[in-house]
Every structure is written in structure tokens, then in C-alpha cells.
Amino acid sequence: MPLGNLTSQFFANVYLNELDQYVKHKLRAKYYIRYVDDFVILHENKEKLEEWKQLINLFLKEKLKIELHPSKSHVLRLDSGINFLGFRIFFNHRLLRKSNLKSFERKFNHLKILFDEGILKREKVVESLEGWLNYAIHGNTYKYRNYIIKEFNKFFPLKDEKIRNKKKHYNFMQKVKESELQFAVQKTLFNYKNGLSIKEIAIKQGVKESTVWGHLINLIEHKQISVWEVLPREKICKILSKIYSRKDRLRDIKKRLKDESITYDEIDCVMASVKAKKKKSYVRNSQ
């Protein structure tokens, strides 16, 4: 059965359900995640993981007639990064594996050749690149995605060809525009997590401080950063006490506070955290 085929993925999940039951109910591993034949188990005790590795391999041989890949099954520290689903995952960030980058670059160069020779239309290149961007966005790849989009615009100009699926092409071009904003916001998150102040981030990224505040507000609302990481506890509590509804206008909250040391940006950050909580409760109630 070919790899990547949806049927093969389905049967792999059915077949490896026995492994899931064994790991969760026999070994009682608390932190276990599997995607098809790729799985990770987390535990604070190295000896325990070594023991589980041997037991799992024995179980796979006896019950499922398969075994762990000898060169791909390791017990590693989290700070050294874990290879999973094409990414190298660390505590606070995810990187694309070098082998994946090289594979994509080979494919990208092949697309350039086909396009230059007139064998491939720009529309087909768009479809291919869109799939890659949707995958790469799950890692800390804003610089690389920005570079790829620039390369796309450079090597795949819009010629006098008829676009058959105008809606799909339009949606892709919208994603290109949106990605520029995503790159900037994720860049702010990266710099803020690395200890830079708002003023330092603004200087480094060549933007206004208000723009950086806007990025932080966006990140808070989408739960990529906590408001408690951005503002002092005292200010957050004071602002929260003057928010009566998530529909409150910032200027009304500002009037209630009667504190000139608290800015509109700070109020907006707290409002973003309130909206984030409301979104979470809405999803829970709708289930």
C-alpha cells in the first residue's frame, strides 16, 4: 500500500490501536502522542523510558509482528530537541528538519524548470506552494516563508496566461499578503520571548512601538502569549476591576480607572485576554 495514501493511514491507525492501548493502559504512560507510525512518550525518568522502550519493542514483535526502527528510536533530553512529523521540537519553538528543507528546495527548483519550459502553469505552482506553506506555518519559519514567497514572486511572474480557478488563485494571493503580517507578529513574539523590551523590538524591527503593542494584543487574544507576561500583576488587576463587559470601549475603561500611568495599549492587552477567555468558554459550551 503506497505511503501517504489516505487508506494506508487509516489502516495504520487501526493496526496500531493495539499499541495505543498497551502504552496507555498497561504501561500507564501519561504523556503519549502518536501520528500514524511516529510517536513520542515523555517522562522525567530516563531509566523508565529505557525500560518502556524495551517493553514496547517486545510487544510490537510478539503481537503486531513489527519492531522499532533501531536508528530512529532514542531516549533524548527535551532541550536537545525531538524529531516529530518533520519538525525538530524544543521547549519554546519548532524548527523544520534540514532534510525537509532540502527536499522542498529540490522540488521548488524542479518547479522553476518546468515553469520556464512552459510545461507547468503558475496556477499549479500556486497549489503546490500553498500546501507547503500550510505545513511550514506550524513551525517557527516566518523568515523562511518570507524568503520563499519572495522567491516565488521573482521566479514565477504572472504571465498572460488564463487563470482557470480564479477563486483559488485569489485566495492564495490573499494568503501571501496575510503571511507578511504573520511574519511580523511572530517575529515580535520571538523577540519578546528572548527578553527584548517593546522599545527594543520596535527599533530592531524598524516599526513604531504602537505596532509592537498591536502585535502583542493580537498574540494575547489568540493565546500565543499570556497578558501576565506582558503587564505587571497590579496593573492587570486594576484594569480588570474596571471592565464591566467585553464590549466596553477603551476610553470608557480609561475614564473609570482615573490613572494616567495606565495607557490605552495596556488596557487593550487586558481586554484581549478577556476576549480570549470568552472564546474558550463559548467553544466549551457549544459542544
Q: Which residues contact 238 (CB under 8 A, 6 or more apart)?
A: 257, 259, 262
Distance between CA atoms of residues 257 and 249, nearest Å: 13
pLDDT greater than 80 at residue 160: no
* SS3 state at 95: strand
pLDDT greater than 50 at residue 254: yes
Residue 7 vs residue 190, higher pLDDT: 190
The pLDDT value recorded for residue 285 is 33
pLDDT greater than 70 at residue 283: no
Distance between CA atoms of residues 59 and 76, nearest Å: 22
* SS3 state at 97: coil
Distance between CA atoms of residues 132 and 145, nearest Å: 9
Beta-sheet pairing, 94-96 with 87-89: antiparallel
In 60-165, alpha helices (H): 98-116, 122-136, 142-155
pLDDT one-digit tens code per residue, 113-134: 888 888 888 777 877 887 788 8
- Closest by CA to 213, choosing from 135, 146, 150, 272, is 272
* SS3 state at 270: helix
The pLDDT value recorded for residue 176 is 52
**Angle value at C-alpha 182, between 96 and 218, nearest 5 degrees:** 125
Distance between CA atoms of residues 55 and 138, nearest Å: 32
The neighbour count for residue 23, using CB atoms within 10 Å, is 19
Answer for the pair 82, 39: CB distance below 8 angstroms, yes or no: no
pLDDT greater than 60 at residue 287: no
Distance between CA atoms of residues 8 and 16, nearest Å: 12
pLDDT greater than 50 at residue 175: yes
**Residue 1 — pLDDT band, cuts 50, 70, 90?**
very low
Determine the average pLDDT of the residues in 149-168. 66
DSSP annotation of 79: G
Answer for the pair 231, 266: CB distance below 8 angstroms, yes or no: yes
* SS3 state at 180: helix
Q: What pTM was estimated for this model as a whole?
A: 0.47
| 149-185 per-residue burial string, b: 16 or more CB within 10 A, e: under 16 | beebeeebeeeeeeeeeeeebeebeebbeebeeebbb
pLDDT greater than 70 at residue 284: no
The pLDDT value recorded for residue 151 is 83
The pLDDT value recorded for residue 286 is 31
DSSP annotation of 78: G
The pLDDT value recorded for residue 231 is 93
pLDDT greater than 60 at residue 5: no
In 160-249, alpha helices (H): 166-193, 198-205, 209-221, 227-230, 233-240
